[in-house]
Amino acid sequence: MHKKLLTMNEAGFYLNGEPFDLQSGDFHYFRCLPGGWRHRLELMRAFGLNTLQTYVPWSLHEPEQGQFCFDGHLNLRAFLQLCQEVGLYVMLRPAPYICSECDWGGMPYWLMREDCCPRTTDTAFTAPYKVYFSRLMQEIAPMLSTRSGPIIAVSVENEYGSYGMDRDYIEWNAELYRSLGIDVPLYNTDGDNAFMLTHGGPEDLWSGINLPAVTERSVQCYHTYQRGYPIYVGEMWGGRAQQWGGRFARQTAETIAERYQTALSFDAHVNFYMFCGGTNFGFFGGANHCVFRADVPGAKERYIPFCTSYDVDAPVTEDGRPTEKYFALRRVLAAHRGMSVDDLPSVPDNRPVQTAGDICWEQSRCVLDPAVLDALTETCITSGNVRSMESLGQDYGFVLYTTHIRASDPDYTYSISIEGLHDRADIYADGVYLGTYYRDRVNTPVSFRIPAGKIRLDLLVENMGRICYGYKITDEHKGIIGCVRTNRCAGIVTNWENRALPCRYPQIEAALAAEPSAHIEPSPTAPHLFRGTFAAIPNVDTYLCFTGTNMSKGQVWINGFAVGRYWSIGPQETLYIPGDLLKEENRIEILELYSDGTAPAPMFCDAARLDGLSENAEIVLS
């Protein structure tokens, strides 16, 4: 590609003065391993798209302050170069906040260590973002279309009208981008109503609208707010992200094709969100505060975490397969351009998939064993009251809170309450599992007696994902952010040991290598680590089905790579294992939270299972 400049007026888009029918789709490089990039990009070209839109997550590229990562599946420049090679322009969304159903909307957890108000002109937020964006420019600058790269536009923020009203912040962001050398058009996308558009950015900043379907009302609203620009649908939702315990709300190909045809009839330029599904690897999945997509009249808003799969019922599935929706929408776009689908590039064949070999389990360790626990612990701090995860310098995973409660009257029955639980606590007394508390739910009280002496109380608290949308993001510390109380005292339980268990892979290896403590009696139910091996065809995708026995909730690693969470409540029943991870002989590690020491029984299969919700989640989790 030669140097190109995107311009626009109310009639449409132009590249170097030539009309440009901008039709695009979201595909996120960080939700796919590099071996799968080209195939998905070629599917986009075969569909008829000429542009790709992608977010850039700050949290992944600067996981700790001053530590930057741009390799592996985070190699943004390599991805942009491949887009150009395939023939796709790029609309880049490197906003400090991306939402995208990911942990804290893509902002790094370490901002919480300061008294920082995110997405405002608060210098505790803008100063570190300026440092990060200056580093990010080393990847972006050579890829701008004005320097013969593929990036034709860069977004300033994302759905800001759904969060704040700080116009100075949006303008500060735009000035930062310009001062660091971004000379392509800047834009923003927001909801399709006057309030969101007004507060999403100044009128002279090109805005797109996010919505499920273009209507006369949405077009009128857009033109009332902004003149001189073509209609750009920054996000047309053809599906939605899966929630743990919630029904996967799919939409038919016919419905989405009709909506696309309607949008094109309004001369809209449409971006599909998402066009290619992906995966929330590791602990990247976020959460929302909303109502479950389950059939319960009068269900209340509450904390709801998102699944590992980010398939989102997109035209191209999580593992890169075109769906019926893909072909229906492709026909609509071809007809809009006065073409036959035969005039488009051929749709590439599906990538191969396999059912990998049986797992041979070799090792197991109980996480509550002191030697194993020491190996898993990154930081251990004693304190009067419980400490938050962020104050321990921890991003994801678990915190184990331990204290001792002395006996008073042997006839007392104690129960505990947790103020500020974020998000889920398994409760143990002297190593015996008593029950689980959930965030913002009416929990059945866990009770126990102390017949003599004292007991050890352990609370294993899991970060299930930080809220990624709306005002709730301002208070998303994890762990216990309040206190622990008992029914026998108006005060709080004190003198805590706070263990940070982020479950990074070197710690998983060390824990499995630890010598078990001989004097510790195994608990009938406790978190366990398991290691096994299995054979596979190198570089060929597979799926791990976790609906077998001895698998309730946990994490999976393949050859040291954190694949993601599983949870038997569904709807997701399989984890996508990209072929990039696989060799002839492979390792698998599983952290199962509710185990009697018996090895789990997952099986590999050759297809996704994402619709397995068997019970109503509002009943299961209430």
Catalytic (active-site) positions: 159, 235
Sign of the alpha-carbon dihedral angle for 428, 433, 437, 438: positive
Residue tagged 């000035």 (tokens): 175
b/e per residue 369-386 (b: at least 16 CB within 10 A) = bebbbebbbbeeeeeeeb
| Cβ neighbours of residue 227 closer than 8 Å, sequence gap 6 or more | 10
- The 8-class DSSP code of residue 20 comes to E
Tell me which H or E stretch contains 435: strand 432-438
Contact indicator for 299, 333 with CB cutoff of 8 Å:
no
SS3 133: helix
Cα 22 to Cα 563: distance, rounded to the nearest angstrom: 35
Helix runs in 63-163, H state only: 76-86, 123-140
- Residue 561: closest CA among 514, 497, 506: 506
Contact indicator for 352, 573 with CB cutoff of 8 Å:
no
End-to-end Cα distance, the chain: 56
Question: CA neighbours within 13 Å on the CB side: how many for 8?
Answer: 25
User: Tokens representing 7?
Assistant: 């311009």
| Cβ neighbours of residue 492 closer than 8 Å, sequence gap 6 or more | 385, 483, 484, 485
Cα 312 to Cα 239: distance, rounded to the nearest angstrom: 5
Contact indicator for 8, 14 with CB cutoff of 8 Å:
yes
Burial (CB < 10 A; 0-12, 13-18, 19+), residue 619, is exposed
Cα 200 to Cα 170: distance, rounded to the nearest angstrom: 8
| Cβ neighbours of residue 134 closer than 8 Å, sequence gap 6 or more | 180
Contact indicator for 71, 352 with CB cutoff of 8 Å:
no
CA distances from residue 383 to 112, 229, 391, 467, 484 in whole angstroms, order as listed: 19, 57, 12, 27, 13
